[in-house]
């Protein structure tokens, strides 16, 4: 009898956890946990936010009393921004191991936040890293920017505290290019190589995707609706 799809999926998840457990015990850098403590364990994911259909020119349509927005990832929805959210398993009391969120806005080409319009920069929260990309996606260029601007300060703190780091993320091709992996290794010397969730399982295994990312989407849409009502 052939195993069912559910049985195959459960086996993939089980084997991933067993492999992860073996990794945690591969080095005793932390006397309690093995490879690293919860203060050195990170999870990154991208959270898209789409507000209107692709055929609509604006959500501010003259003469319309109602608009429709959506959190759908379908290709027929515009994505005006993506949040790259990196969570740490346990905050250090100093908060120095807490990564800043990265917001990617849509623009005609890649641009670092510090190179953008100064007037607009003044509206950004100081604890948020900003950049721009053609589709508001985390491609290889933005991935390297995340390494430099979000994780490098974390890496330096981990080295200072003699704590090993490990980052878990999904299997996107932009995360796994040779240039990105090399940049990760060169810049984040306190970290092991990135560890990836099994393909097509991020929706059920990844903390950002399952929890905090959803909260961000709901909060963004609630704030957008409130702002539109005020106007």
Write out pLDDT tens, residues 69-114: 444 444 434 557 888 999 999 999 999 999 999 999 888 899 999 9
Task: State if pTM tops 0.95.
Answer: no
How far, in Å, CA of 63 to CA of 195, rounded? 51
Q: Cβ of 187: how many Cβ atoms within 10 Å? A: 14
How do beta strands 111-112 and 102-106 pair? unpaired
How far, in Å, CA of 81 to CA of 118, rounded? 19
Output the domain CATH number for residue 71.
Answer: 3.30.420
Domain that holds residue 91: 5-230
Mean pLDDT on 143-162 = 97
How far, in Å, CA of 49 to CA of 202, rounded? 18
Q: Are the C-beta atoms of 33 and 185 separated by less than 8 Å?
A: no
Continuous H helices in 28-177:
118-121, 140-146, 152-161
Q: To the nearest whole number, what is the mean pLDDT of the chain? A: 85
Asked if pLDDT for residue 15 goes beyond 70, the answer is yes
Short-list 157, 134, 131, CA closest to 144:
131
pLDDT for position 68 = 45
pLDDT for position 29 = 93
How far, in Å, CA of 172 to CA of 77, rounded? 21
Mean pLDDT on 200-227 = 77
Short-list 56, 29, 10, 79, CA closest to 191:
29
pLDDT for position 63 = 56
How far, in Å, CA of 42 to CA of 28, rounded? 18
Bridge partners for 110 per DSSP: none
pLDDT for position 3 = 75
> In this structure, what DSSP letter does residue 133 have?
E
Q: Are the C-beta atoms of 208 and 43 separated by less than 8 Å?
A: yes
Residue 65's pLDDT band (cuts 50, 70, 90): low
Q: Are the C-beta atoms of 202 and 170 separated by less than 8 Å?
A: yes
Split into its structural domains, the chain has a count of: 1
How far, in Å, CA of 69 to CA of 50, rounded? 7
Q: Are the C-beta atoms of 146 and 85 separated by less than 8 Å?
A: no
How far, in Å, CA of 141 to CA of 127, rounded? 21
């Amino acid at each position: 009898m052939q195993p069912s799809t559910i049985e195959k999926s459960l086996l993939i998840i089980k084997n991933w956890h067993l492999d992860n457990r073996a990794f945690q015990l591969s080095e005793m850098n932390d006397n309690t946990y093995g490879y690293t403590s919860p203060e050195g364990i990170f999870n990154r994911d991208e959270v898209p936010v789409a507000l209107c259909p692709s055929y609509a020119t604006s959500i501010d349509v003259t003469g319309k009393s109602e608009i429709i927005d959506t959190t759908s990832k379908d290709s027929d929805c515009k994505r005006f921004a993506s949040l790259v959210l990196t969570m740490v398993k346990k905050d250090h009391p100093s908060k120095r191991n807490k990564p800043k969120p990265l917001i990617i806005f849509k623009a005609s080409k890649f641009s670092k936040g510090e190179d953008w319009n100064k007037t607009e920069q003044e509206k950004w929260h100081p604890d948020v890293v900003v950049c721009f990309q053609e589709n508001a996606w985390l491609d290889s260029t933005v991935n390297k920017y995340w390494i430099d601007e979000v994780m490098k300060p974390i890496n330096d703190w981990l080295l200072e505290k003699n704590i090993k780091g490990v980052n878990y993320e999904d299997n996107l091709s932009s995360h796994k290019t040779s240039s990105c992996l090399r940049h990760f290794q060169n810049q984040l010397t306190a970290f092991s190589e990135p560890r990836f969730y099994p393909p097509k399982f991020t929706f059920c295994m990844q903390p950002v995707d399952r929890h905090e990312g959803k909260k961000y989407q709901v909060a963004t849409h609630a704030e957008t609706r409130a702002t539109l009502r005020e106007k």
